[in-house]
Structure 1
Amino acid sequence: MTGLSPLQQLYEKYTTNVSGRLFLASIIVGIVAGIGAILFFAALTQFSHYVLHSAANYFPPEPAGEVSGHAPLGGAIRWWVLLLAPAIGGLLSGILVFTWAPEAAGHGTDGMIEAFHHKRGIIRKRVPIIKAISSIITIGSGGSAGREGPIAQIGAGFGSYLATVLKLTDDERRTLVLAGAAGGIGAIFRSPLGGALFTVEVLYKRDFEGKSLIPALVSSIVAYSIFASTFGWGLMFQIPPFVFNHPVELVFYALLGVVCAGVGLVYIKIFYGLRDRVFHGLRIPAQLKPAIGGLVVGLIGIAAPFVLASGYGYLQQAMNGELTVRFMLIAFLLKIFTTSFTISSGGSGGVFAPSLFIGGMLGGAFGQLCAELFPGLISNPAAFVPVGMGAFFAGAAKVPISAMIMVSEMTGGYKLLVPLMLSSSTAYLATGRGTLYEKQVNRMADSPSHLGDFTIDVLETMIVDQAFHPSDNVPRVRQDTPLSRVQALFSEREENYFPVIDQNDKIVGIISLRNVRAVLFDGDADHLLIAQDLMTPAVTVTPAESLKSALKKFIEFDYGQIPVVDYRDERKIIGMLTHEDVIESYNRQVEKRKLAF
């Protein structure tokens, strides 16, 4: 480094190793994420003012930390505006998204998760911009959605772009994607620690991306500081001085976790059920579907306007103990449907805010009912509101740690951390594998991004014969089999994949339940389609083949099951190897090696 200035020497020192590069890049990403959060929040606030305040004359309550300063003008609410605004917003958002960036549809965070696991952390440059604008239109016009999806896309998109410009590795790009998402979420929700934890936790159902935590923290701190310098350092919500000092209340908080888990599973079923069984089956351009969802939201909104947009102001009222049990029960039930119609139709926005609303209202109603049924045992029923917020999102999104931290940071209710821990853990365990985020994988070992970190050395020494369960009863589907017969076969069997064979019994393809479901609601498909039309490339393994090779085939073709054939006669199918078989065999071998040491 002879001849370099001290500043140049410092730069060279910090950029010649991975930790230094990521530290400096995380600061840059945090700056951009903070500025992006400011612009997004300001634009959303202004657009909401134009539509809901000025046009509809509807002034919903606001959380204590986000008072806009716009006072009600008096006069009646223009109900026809509340009816039409979500539909018009859905139409504009649908045209924008499905014309220029279809991957920006839905709740956004899944897009970031998918980019991490399956796309080397690469996010198209236009996606964050389209996502931000479409989400502003959707939420600002009354759509029931939140900010975490779009703001995560903004930060993650810049992190991906910066890594590409700096010619960083795929692993470093993935880290900056998480750092960018953490910066955006930590800033806009005033939750720097929770935002960082959320991005490393939401990737998996039962694991953490631990090595990305420090860059995520750095970015989140920087972004939060920039955002708070503009909009103030206060909390999003102001709550009464709740305290936990009655151990018997833990019984009720544990029950709240179970209730949140049950409602969360119903929410997930409705959310994706509407998408798969209603909107995917509509034979209209995708650009129009969010308008239909928005129209339903508007119809619900004219009867119950409190379920439009984020609803944070009503959460504030619930924490203050100002809402009745009846109101809160109606609110959380209707919020499930308005959120599902908004986002499942292709509308743009996040699921964090609606989940907080559903959980908070559910918790508030539960707390009041328990206080009435067991007088003297519940010190403050309104304390169940913030606990319900955290527990519901912890279970529905599989993020127990970040959910409780984010709620604590947003409310300042750290004295409720013990019941939050219990309710969130209970909800997380009780929901099982159910999750709002489809792109989550179970553990790091299940992610293609960690294929080389966890599996290659072990799986190279193992063969398929050690993992699969032999069977001479594997169904085969001839390539000319009608769709109706294929559907019947899937309904009769537990398998999700069948080999497709030709007239010579040679395997020519794979047909999956996923592909059959894609045409399930097409009335003409039964008469027009045969197995050959729906099959995907043929992939097989042999008993002597290494599990490393088998796993690569699972990843490359995105299959859940692969036929195992006799290497002496590939027409003879001797069983099916599942992706779970590979992972379970890997885990058993790892445990054996641990015991050997």
Structure 2
Amino acid sequence: MRLPPSARPLMQWLFLGGLVGIVSGVASAVFLYLLDLATDFRERHTAIVYTLPVAGLVLGALYDRWGKPIRGGNNLVIDSVHEGDTRIPLRMAPMVLLGTVLTHLFGGSAGREGTAVQMGGSLADAVARRFGVTATTRRELLAAGIAGGFGSVFGTPIAGTMFGLEVVVIGRMSYEALLPSLVAAVVGDLVTRGLGIVHTPYPVPAPLPLTVPLLGKWLVFAVAVAGVAVLFVELTHRLKKAWERHVPALPLRMAAGGALVVALWWLVGTDAYLGLGVPTILRAFSDPNLPGEAFALKLLFTALTLSAGFLGGEVTPLFFIGAALGNVLARLLGLPLDLGAAVGLAALFAAAANTPLALSIMAVELLGASVLPHVVIVSTVAYLLTGHRGIYPSQRLGRLKHGGPLLRRLVPLRELPQEPDRPGVDRAPE
């Protein structure tokens, strides 16, 4: 029996998307298992943090020798979606996994989304090459790899699906990749959970009806979130450029960055800002005595770690920064503490990554449906206020955030002039 033409794309994506989901889910499960082991070892043997500069020197030498083709990280994956001749080497998956686990083992402040996205992207590209798919199908498979990695590492398959569509182009959604992204994210999540991985449970805030005074508070909240998002993005990017300009050798750069992280750790006198920082994220939901400077310190630890070249992502550190900031703002604005932490957790990453829809859905998957209207409001306003910048310089801009016609071409954020409203960004005729 021959399948009708309309059923063939469905069967193709069930197979290819499912395959990407399986390999992404297995990779995430292995990664999360090793990450737990590394974190547990570091917490029981805190003195290992003093060796972070040495670890940076060795990691930098290894990465400088064998990792140059994959040094773009998440930006390489996004570039590959847009540029058919940009390949993602399969070595990215094991190298970024090992590098991130070692970063956490020795005390660097980093996340896990970057690793999952890069593993998903490199494995998806390997699947595309293995089956000799067209350039168009390959791009859609790469989006599925992003979705599969993101969804499986956080246990949020629907948010992973939306993230794979939304992160690639600001102002346009890649709906042609919707089905493969959904299949990869759902299958990846099922595989990761099936292999015994248990994701962190977050508190579920009680429902709070929207009122006019509450809307005013959320607007103030959004302004603060946008300001911190801009600070994180600009500090991380500028520190990275300064490191590359003054310390061009990657091993020395990572060693020096590791030394600064160790010095900062010694000065603050707590391990709370090392690694993922999940205990402090959970504490932000209930502790009115959380230090007001916690969000700023985590921001500094993370910017130093990532700008120096250590591997990992930004999501969980931004969750920490956002939840701690939300805790402070909730106390100042008279909001429920758990709701403030929940909204800050999701909205800060939404603003920094230009993905307000994905993070609004992620908030529901992690924190329950009661947070949805509040997260959407704050994420949207903060997303607009951050301007045309983000943690991924390779993100393409399809339309200016405040509206107007489509741009003549998709412009990477790294190529934008300081003020994209000025001449220099071509816009399509109205």
User: How does the TM-score come out when normalised to structure 2?
Assistant: 0.89
Of the candidates 204, 216, 223, which is equivalent to residue 258 of structure 1?
A: 223
What is the identity, as a one-letter code, of the residue corresponding to 1:196?
T
Structure-to-structure mapping, 1:333-412, within 5 angstroms: 333-371=296-334, 378=335, 380-411=336-367
Question: Is the CA contact 2:170–2:397 (under 8 Å) kept in the aligned structure 1?
Answer: yes
| CA-CA distance at 1:249 after TM superposition | 2.0
Question: Is the CA contact 2:205–2:371 (under 8 Å) kept in the aligned structure 1?
Answer: no
The residue that corresponds to 1:580 in the other structure is: 425
Of the candidates 2, 14, 18, which is equivalent to residue 23 of structure 1?
A: 14
CA separation in 2, counterparts of 1:119 and 1:365?
45
| CA-CA distance at 1:134 after TM superposition | 0.8
Query: Secondary structure, in 3 states, of the residue corresponding to 2:246?
Result: coil
| CA-CA distance at 1:180 after TM superposition | 1.5
Q: Structure 2 vs 1, CA of residues 43 and 14 (structure 1 numbering), >3 Å: closer, same or farther?
A: farther
What is the identity, as a one-letter code, of the residue corresponding to 2:43?
H
| CA-CA distance at 1:440 after TM superposition | 0.7
Question: Is the CA contact 1:150–1:349 (under 8 Å) kept in the aligned structure 2?
Answer: yes
CA separation in 2, counterparts of 1:127 and 1:186?
19
The residue that corresponds to 1:508 in the other structure is: none
What is the identity, as a one-letter code, of the residue corresponding to 2:123?
F
| CA-CA distance at 1:232 after TM superposition | 5.4
| CA-CA distance at 1:408 after TM superposition | 2.2
What is the identity, as a one-letter code, of the residue corresponding to 2:91?
R
| CA-CA distance at 1:323 after TM superposition | 4.7
What is the identity, as a one-letter code, of the residue corresponding to 1:318?
A
The residue that corresponds to 1:311 in the other structure is: 277
Q: Structure 1 regions of 5+ residues with no counterpart?
A: 1-5, 57-77, 372-377, 446-453, 460-550, 562-576, 592-597
What is the identity, as a one-letter code, of the residue corresponding to 1:383?
L
The residue that corresponds to 2:251 in the other structure is: 287
Question: Is the CA contact 2:205–2:338 (under 8 Å) kept in the aligned structure 1?
Answer: no
Q: Structure 2 regions of 5+ residues with no counterpart?
A: 401-405
| CA-CA distance at 1:307 after TM superposition | 1.0
Question: Is the CA contact 1:86–1:294 (under 8 Å) kept in the aligned structure 2?
Answer: yes
Q: Which structure has the greater CA radius of gyration?
A: 1
CA separation in 2, counterparts of 1:94 and 1:423?
39
The residue that corresponds to 2:32 in the other structure is: 41
What is the identity, as a one-letter code, of the residue corresponding to 1:338?
F
What is the identity, as a one-letter code, of the residue corresponding to 1:53?
E
Cα deviation code 1:162-183 (max 9, x no counterpart): 1111110111111111112211
Of the candidates 294, 297, 305, which is equivalent to residue 261 of structure 2?
A: 297
The residue that corresponds to 2:45 in the other structure is: 55
What is the percentage of aligned positions where both structures have the same residue? 26
Of the candidates 158, 175, 188, which is equivalent to residue 223 of structure 1?
A: 188
Q: Structure 2 vs 1, CA of residues 251 and 578 (structure 1 numbering), >3 Å: closer, same or farther?
A: closer
Of the candidates 423, 427, 432, which is equivalent to residue 382 of structure 2?
A: 427
User: Is residue 2 of structure 2 the alignment partner of residue 157 of structure 1?
Assistant: no
What is the identity, as a one-letter code, of the residue corresponding to 2:208?
F
The worse-fitting range, judged by mean Cα deviation, of 175-184 and 244-253 is: 244-253
The residue that corresponds to 1:144 in the other structure is: 109
Question: Is the CA contact 1:87–1:294 (under 8 Å) kept in the aligned structure 2?
Answer: yes
Q: Structure 2 vs 1, CA of residues 232 and 274 (structure 1 numbering), >3 Å: closer, same or farther?
A: closer
Structure-to-structure mapping, 1:156-555, within 5 angstroms: 156-231=121-196, 236-245=200-209, 247=211, 248-277=213-242, 279-283=243-247, 285-302=249-266, 303=268, 304-319=270-285, 321-325=286-290, 327=291, 329-371=292-334, 378=335, 380-411=336-367, 413-443=368-398
Greater helix fraction, Structure 1 or Structure 2: 2
The residue that corresponds to 2:403 in the other structure is: none
Query: Secondary structure, in 3 states, of the residue corresponding to 1:306?
Result: coil
What is the identity, as a one-letter code, of the residue corresponding to 1:42?
Y
Q: Structure 2 vs 1, CA of residues 23 and 49 (structure 1 numbering), >3 Å: closer, same or farther?
A: same
Question: Is the CA contact 1:360–1:389 (under 8 Å) kept in the aligned structure 2?
Answer: yes
| CA-CA distance at 1:55 after TM superposition | 2.2
| CA-CA distance at 1:230 after TM superposition | 2.7
Cα deviation code 1:483-537 (max 9, x no counterpart): xxxxxxxxxxxxxxxxxxxxxxxxxxxxxxxxxxxxxxxxxxxxxxxxxxxxxxx
Query: Secondary structure, in 3 states, of the residue corresponding to 2:347?
Result: helix
CA RMSD of aligned residues (A): 2.8
CA separation in 2, counterparts of 1:89 and 1:204?
36
Question: Is the CA contact 2:222–2:379 (under 8 Å) kept in the aligned structure 1?
Answer: yes
| CA-CA distance at 1:237 after TM superposition | 2.7
CA separation in 2, counterparts of 1:143 and 1:14?
51
CA separation in 1, counterparts of 2:9 and 2:129?
15
Query: Secondary structure, in 3 states, of the residue corresponding to 2:245?
Result: coil
User: How does the TM-score come out when normalised to structure 1?
Assistant: 0.65
Cα deviation code 1:207-255 (max 9, x no counterpart): 211111111010111110111123356x523315421125232221221
Q: Structure 2 vs 1, CA of residues 560 and 414 (structure 1 numbering), >3 Å: closer, same or farther?
A: closer
| CA-CA distance at 1:258 after TM superposition | 1.0
Query: Secondary structure, in 3 states, of the residue corresponding to 2:218?
Result: helix
Question: Is the CA contact 1:368–1:382 (under 8 Å) kept in the aligned structure 2?
Answer: no
What is the identity, as a one-letter code, of the residue corresponding to 2:109?
S
Structure-to-structure mapping, 1:108-123, within 5 angstroms: 108-120=73-85, 122-123=87-88
CA separation in 1, counterparts of 2:311 and 2:5?
39
Q: Structure 2 vs 1, CA of residues 104 and 307 (structure 1 numbering), >3 Å: closer, same or farther?
A: farther
Cα deviation code 1:122-142 (max 9, x no counterpart): 211212221111111112321
Query: Secondary structure, in 3 states, of the residue corresponding to 2:396?
Result: coil
What is the identity, as a one-letter code, of the residue corresponding to 2:333?
C
CA separation in 2, counterparts of 1:178 and 1:194?
13
CA separation in 1, counterparts of 2:25 and 2:109?
24
| CA-CA distance at 1:103 after TM superposition | 4.7
Q: Which has the higher contact order (CA 8 A, sep 6+)?
A: 2
